[in-house]
Amino acid sequence: MANTNVLAGWACPKCGQTEGFRIAGTIWLDVTDDGTVPSDEPGRTDHEWDGDSTTECPGCGYVGRQAEFHEDLELEQTIAALKEAPRNVNSETGRRVRGYL
Ligand SMILES: [Zn+2]
């Protein structure tokens, strides 16, 4: 059955499994001389990750950017990058310069 919540649209790009993934996210840590623990300070207990976060498939061991595991997200990021890229258009003709995206 397809995922409909957090993992909606996710799949391993190598083996196709959709059950779960492992992400190297960012969290706040409280550090003392004894070591580190996840912070329980209000406002510092959340964790973050994005399309560039390292993601692992526990099924086959494939590791890549999180966006690779979510086809729509990868496409959205590519489109956003293209929109931000300088337009390679001849200012006189308005036509796209060959050899560029
Ligand atoms: Zn996999």
Query: 28 lies in a domain?
Result: yes
Query: 93 lies in a domain?
Result: no
Question: What are the residue ranges of helices labelled H in the chain?
Answer: 71-84
Domain count, the chain: 1
Query: 100 lies in a domain?
Result: no
CB 45 within 8 A of CB 28: yes
27: containing domain? 22-84
Query: 6 lies in a domain?
Result: no
In this prediction, residue 80 carries a pLDDT of: 75
For the whole model, what pTM was predicted? 0.67
Each residue's pLDDT tens digit, 60-88: 999 999 999 987 766 666 777 777 776 66
Query: 29 lies in a domain?
Result: yes
Query: 92 lies in a domain?
Result: no
Place of tokens 């086809």: 71
Cα 57 to ligand 1 centre (Å): 5
Cα 59 to ligand 1 centre (Å): 5
**Mean pLDDT confidence for 49-59:** 96
Cα 78 to ligand 1 centre (Å): 22
Cα 19 to ligand 1 centre (Å): 10
Burial class (CB in 10 A: 0-12, 13-18, 19+), 55: buried
